Chains A and B, each alone.
Chain A
């Protein structure tokens, strides 16, 4: 079972058992607490790549950073960085923040940190990110976690450009603590009942301003202080990075997939039964690579995958891993809907031979309708359909809005919808990553829903969306 660690589960239970409501605050540090690593390093890496950095600035940065490590003023490094930003456009920097979030930072959000945030949100607490970072680093993460409040370092902007100065102190160490206390006064938060999570040695003042401090994956010196102060220490697992071994297994998995496809199709040709050949190919193409990559599936309510066929299976989508996982679950007699443009895409070509998707031409609505009629026909012929109603992969486990297409098909074909919730595929294979990490995928099949009609479709979709969210937030034991 790859659920939450016992310690994280215990922390969440304590939150649930404690006082509820908005007068209780929950303050999360960003770097090293909500996300693994330093977002500032990601930003600086991007700057270096873009050669925005002069050798003099680079040297100054390195010297300041080393001095900060050796007992000098650790906030000076940030001021060096801020002053180097003078004259840059705020809008462009905010865009950069969004871009870096999607490409890099989203994948570093700790799953168990997210679970803690959600536990506080369920308790109705006032949740805030409290960090010395700027809002350009924090806002995308906070938005993704559904956190409304930021307590952070403010940069001065004039005429849409940074002046290189900060508005007020950098919220580091004592200033973060006083920022949190000021926030508490403004929002009527009772600090004695509140929670704070931090990892840096400079977070002691911040943590000590609340009644329930937790040192989360703490820095060595904070760990020592926490032991002395009797504060709980919580060690959460980091998002899995692509190790060399994992990369090797991925290559093996891809090879296995191709072997499976070829073997399956060859079987079909030999037996002159393309249908059975395809079913075998799917089985082999999905189970071989997953076994080779060390991915296992833990399914709840597996029987619901078979009780209502043919059906429309809908699942949430975070990772390229979702497709082989679902293929592995559905095993046989299913297909997907795909854009016509993707038909000759070399990356999906082999797969499409196997799965024989229902192609939709989005540019031509008459033809699209005709194809959909064809799809309904195929459904009636016994082929189930697998659809990701979010349309695209999300960068993080946060559920996107559902589109209606899948449910219209269900109404038209008069078949049930079987909802499948996938929990952690995004962790085993990050968005935009080609490396598959070993682990267990948690799957929960929800109650199949029948009798779809256009009349109450919007409400039923909303209700189903809520069920997905609930299941993701509180994974059934």
Chain B
């Protein structure tokens, strides 16, 4: 691993997250947040082969926050929602508030503590992240560590979090002297809420003539061709209705959900057989991940004597191309089959469900509605996010670092993303780390009668897929 490659990647990290304003979708999540039930927090658990030197670790983090300014910035809200919230440097930034270390005696204890960290709400007036280094985690032949990073969705979504972390980690165990720094410390911008609101209002007023013109044009169009407009509106409405209502009912085995008792589980699997199963079923790694979770839930339901045949699963759909490329994604629900025994057939069925979403013109409905919803009081946004049937499980696949990585001299052994539980009983994130799939599962413990059994079943589901492709 050349140091040059590291430098290049770090240069990229400095340019990360350039925009000052929150995007409409980030704004919606920011305003609608009701932690932890409607939370936007992502937690990353990084297994390390040894405890890094604490001083070096703090220095590295200090450097990282200098490189990626966002980590030293806070969100400033306008007093009335005329403008989107804005990022501004936090003049009171203190690394000591955000980074600390603890000692644990087992990995389970670390995961339990990580869940507690994740459940506590952020101080919304400070930079939106928190890191804890857990020392004393036993590993083969000694003592390892785990770094738990909790990050707000407004700062980075799970995909961005993993990207950011992979960018900041080093390709070498040794220290790199003369690491690049971000731009010279920009003067903390003294943005306040009143100014923001006024500026937003001024912008709104200046765009009013344009807005009026557009509205008149739209109305004129509707008056001339009422049939076309009505037909198009009906089709859009039908699509919204299908997306919101035409999936399986939530499973009674995964309720009642409170969203207040998070339990973190982790699994790992070799990537090659998972990709092989995906290929056999004509699908992608995402489809295989969904099929894997369904395999686990299928076993759990069988053990509980339940005859649920399908359940709603939340997936991420690329709006650009089907094959996981592109930058625009929509969250949507599919009916995940529980009745299919053959894992390859299950992958194919999931593939069909996911691709079928592409016929829905309303797939982007939440994205499209976000700017409008954002001008309304926060509870409107909160309920907009709740309108859909909540899925039983969210399943997400994220590309992690392709090669070996180090943090302050400790080797990264695994990287698990534990997503929030916005109404779901489980959130599953599969991160590809080198040739391994690191699977992090956040479970709403109040919704699951037998947590141990669920863990066993999910492990069997992972095993089923890896052996089918092996």
Which A positions have Cβ atoms within 8 angstroms of B? Answer: 69-73, 173-174, 177-178, 181, 191-192, 201-202, 204-206, 208-211, 221-222, 224-225, 228-230
Contacts and interface: CB of A to CB of B under 8 A. Distances in A.
B426 to A, nearest CB: 22
Nearest to B340: A178
Contacts of B242: 71
A71 B359 CA distance: 12
What is the interface of chain B mostly: helix, strand, loop, or mixed? helix
Interface stretch (B50-58, B184-192, B348-356): B348-356
B359 A205 contact: no
Contact of A204 (B238, B319, B359): B359
* Interchain residue pairs A-B with the least CB separation, the first 7: A205-B352, A71-B241, A71-B238, A225-B358, A221-B359, A201-B359, A204-B356
A208 B356 CA distance: 9
A70 B282 contact: no
B368 interface: no
B355 A173 contact: no
Nearest to A191: B282
B241 to A, nearest CB: 3
B345 A208 contact: no
6 contacts: A178-B340, A178-B345, A202-B356, A205-B356, A222-B359, A225-B355
Contacts of A209: 282, 348, 351-352
B359 A229 contact: no
Given A70-B234, A192-B282, A230-B322, A208 B241 contact: no
A130 to B, nearest CB: 13
Given A177-B349, A205-B353, A209-B352, A229 B282 contact: no
B432 interface: no
A178 B358 contact: no
A221 B232 CA distance: 12
Contacts of B353: 174, 205
Interface in B212-247: 234, 237-242, 245-246
Contacts of A70: 234, 237-238, 241
A204 B352 contact: yes
B367 interface: no
Given A70-B237, A71-B239, 14 more contacts: A70-B238, A71-B238, A71-B246, A72-B241, A181-B345, A181-B349, A204-B355, A204-B359, A205-B352, A205-B355, A206-B352, A209-B351, A209-B352, A222-B359
B321 interface: yes
A225 B354 CA distance: 11
Contacts of B359: 201-202, 204, 221-222, 224-225
Contacts of A210: 282
Given A69-B238, A174-B335, A174-B349, A221 B361 contact: yes
Contact of B356 (A71, A173, A211): A173
A175 B361 CA distance: 22
Contacts of A72: 241
Nearest to A223: B359
B157 interface: no
Interface string B309-343: 00000000001111000000000000101001000
Contact of B282 (A173, A201, A208, A224): A208
B455 interface: no
Q: Which of B241, B349, B351, B352 has the most CB of A within 10 A?
A: B352
Contacts of B345: 178, 181
Q: Which of A73, A201, A230 has the most CB of B within 10 A?
A: A201
B21 interface: no
Contacts of A71: 237-242, 245-246
A204 B239 contact: no
B448 to A, nearest CB: 27
Nearest to B319: A228
A230 B323 CA distance: 10
Interface in B17-42: none
Contacts of A201: 359
B239 A181 contact: no
B321 A228 contact: yes
Contacts of B360: 221
A31 B353 CA distance: 22
B348 A181 contact: yes
A211 B349 contact: no
A177 B337 CA distance: 13
Given A205-B353, A229-B355, A177 B348 contact: yes
Contacts of A69: 234, 238
Nearest to A68: B238
A437 to B, nearest CB: 30
B92 to A, nearest CB: 47
Contacts of A230: 321-322
A70 B237 CA distance: 7
B124 to A, nearest CB: 38
Contacts of A178: 340, 345, 349
A117 to B, nearest CB: 23
Contacts of A204: 352, 355-356, 358-359
A130 B358 CA distance: 21
Nearest to A211: B282
Contacts of B361: 221, 224
A444 B238 CA distance: 51
A208 B238 contact: no
Contacts of A221: 239, 359-361
A177 B282 contact: no
A461 B358 CA distance: 53
A69 B237 CA distance: 10
Nearest to A192: B282
A214 to B, nearest CB: 15
B378 to A, nearest CB: 29
A1 B246 CA distance: 48
Interface string B270-308: 000000000000100000000000000000000000000
B275 to A, nearest CB: 15
A244 to B, nearest CB: 23
B52 to A, nearest CB: 45
B355 A208 contact: yes
A69 B282 CA distance: 30
A206 B356 CA distance: 9
Nearest to B342: A185
B321 A174 contact: no
A210 B351 CA distance: 11
A177 to B, nearest CB: 5
Nearest to A70: B238
A191 B348 CA distance: 11
A209 B354 CA distance: 12
A229 B241 contact: no
A48 B237 CA distance: 31
Contact of B351 (A173, A208, A225): A208
Contact of A177 (B245, B319, B352): B352
A372 B56 CA distance: 111
B352 A224 contact: no
A449 B360 CA distance: 60
A208 B347 CA distance: 12
B240 to A, nearest CB: 7
A35 B337 CA distance: 32
Q: Which of A71, A72, A181 has the most CB of B within 10 A?
A: A71
B176 to A, nearest CB: 42
B239 to A, nearest CB: 7
A204 B358 CA distance: 8
Interface string B67-111: 000000000000000000000000000000000000000000000
A228 B360 CA distance: 12
B398 to A, nearest CB: 22
Nearest to A227: B358
Contacts of B351: 205, 208-209
Nearest to B362: A71
Given A178-B345, A221-B361, A228 B322 contact: yes
A349 B424 CA distance: 80
B341 to A, nearest CB: 12
A173 to B, nearest CB: 7
